[in-house]
Chains A and B, each alone.
Chain A
């Protein structure tokens, strides 16, 4: 379990992380979202002990990262942003180095390296120096070093950034497989990733938490949650038909395409379909929309920016 209490990090006058408190349990895959410069990477650097907090504590399985750094770091696997690796080494040498530092020796060290090379599919390039590898392979080398010791806590800073769709899919699959009895924290600004792999999402902005919940919960905060999309074949005045329903709003997207919004967050599909039948709408398409994480992301990160 990771427990973060009142975490604050200041760089001179600039407050990068502002009084952050949350905890993550085993089995949770936490998506850490936020616009660029919101403090995602700084928070990750604090959790992994690379930076020390100005105020606050971070406990990794009961070990304080500031006072017990070695024990805490031993529990963590970390993929820094951009997956930095020693370019002059081959993946094989590099992973062997990491395995040795992680305390594996002899045959076990060899086995670990072989296992992790298979797991992230590096067999074809493991004798080539890392600086000659493509971005996707470099990212996989970075991922391999993070999981080589089967860590309890896995912290991945933008693990799929710059990968092609197949590689992204592969990395997500890998994360899902690994996540069972671990704590996984992923920072990303690719929102589809959160829906794909995360069991919980935290959105931060200007160093503060602005939303926290399961992806489904966050999606339900969207104004498009339970909305109904309607496309008409000929012109028809929907506004007049819907005028008598206070919990229903109307938004015209383009000619003859409308989104009917639920103002109180309740499902309105059956109500709208009844009205449509009664009023004989010339419907060519009719479906329920799901709330989009993107809308929630935009609304929570922009509104707090406007206030400040």
Chain B
């Protein structure tokens, strides 16, 4: 556990040692603003809630999160530091979790810096702050889900651009899994329970309820298991591919 903390600290500070973290945060906030005010019609709706803010998060994360996840392991392999890291007296799991948590906390920092919008909505009206808090937590967990996919894809290749494209593609699949776009395109002979299973695996069905303020333990459990599975897959891929 101690080593996990040391790796976490190193990773997080390395984001801030380069302009990466600052660029990520600034762009995250700008795009978030555009989505909320222009596309989401935050003012026009005339309602004191943050639904237009949160409902765009899956699409925002689709491109933003893979951008920080892509270097997680690809760079380690490219520069050879993976050999250094994995010959230190640490467990592979500590490295995988340490790196993941550092990236997750970075998205958390970016997300928490959207607080002015929460302040604004409280100034303009009387929103249900419990709903908003739940939605923030749900959104952060969803970002973790995206990141865990990114961690695994980044472990697959030395090239971080390839890792980015792979991550975006797979994340896109998980985003649309629960949406009508995908469900309507299935042929009719596919049994209903399969359709339900597929849509239950998607991000949207879980995030939608959270963003409406229903912080169901099952949704949190879904994201936790989702993250754990992809991180396990990352560890397996790292173990398999570290030789080449």
A→B interface (CB under 8 Å): 11, 45, 48-51, 69-71, 73-74, 76, 78, 80-82, 84-89, 93, 97-98, 100-103, 129, 145
Contact = CB atoms under 8 A, between A and B. Distances in A.
B243 A84 contact: no
A100 B89 CA distance: 11
A50 B87 contact: yes
A145 B84 contact: yes
13 contacts: A45-B83, A70-B90, A74-B89, A78-B84, A80-B83, A84-B79, A84-B81, A84-B84, A86-B14, A87-B79, A88-B17, A93-B13, A102-B88
Contacts of A45: 83
Given A82-B80, A97-B6, A50 B14 contact: no
Contacts of A101: 3, 6-7, 88-90
Contacts of B7: 101
Contacts of A51: 242-243
B80 A88 contact: no
Interface string B84-101: 101111110000000000
Interface residues of B, number: 22
Nearest to A90: B17
Interface string B1-35: 00100110010011001100000000000000000
Nearest to A105: B2
A87 B79 CA distance: 9
Given A80-B80, A84-B81, A50 B10 contact: no
A89 B88 contact: no
A244 B18 CA distance: 77
Chain B interface helix/strand/loop/mixed = helix
B87 A89 contact: no
A236 B17 CA distance: 74
Given A50-B242, A80-B80, A85-B81, A102 B17 contact: no
Contacts of B17: 88-89, 129
B14 A48 contact: no
Contact of A70 (B80, B91, B243): B91
A73 B87 CA distance: 6
* Most interface-central of B13, B18, B87 (chain A CB within 10 A): B87
A54 to B, nearest CB: 11
A25 to B, nearest CB: 22
B232 to A, nearest CB: 18
A73 B92 CA distance: 13
Nearest to A157: B83
A29 B212 CA distance: 67
Most buried by B among A11, A78, A81, A84: A84
A51 B243 CA distance: 7
B84 A49 contact: no
Contacts of B87: 48-50, 73, 76, 78, 80
Nearest to B92: A69
A84 B6 contact: no
Given A50-B242, A101-B3, A86 B81 contact: yes
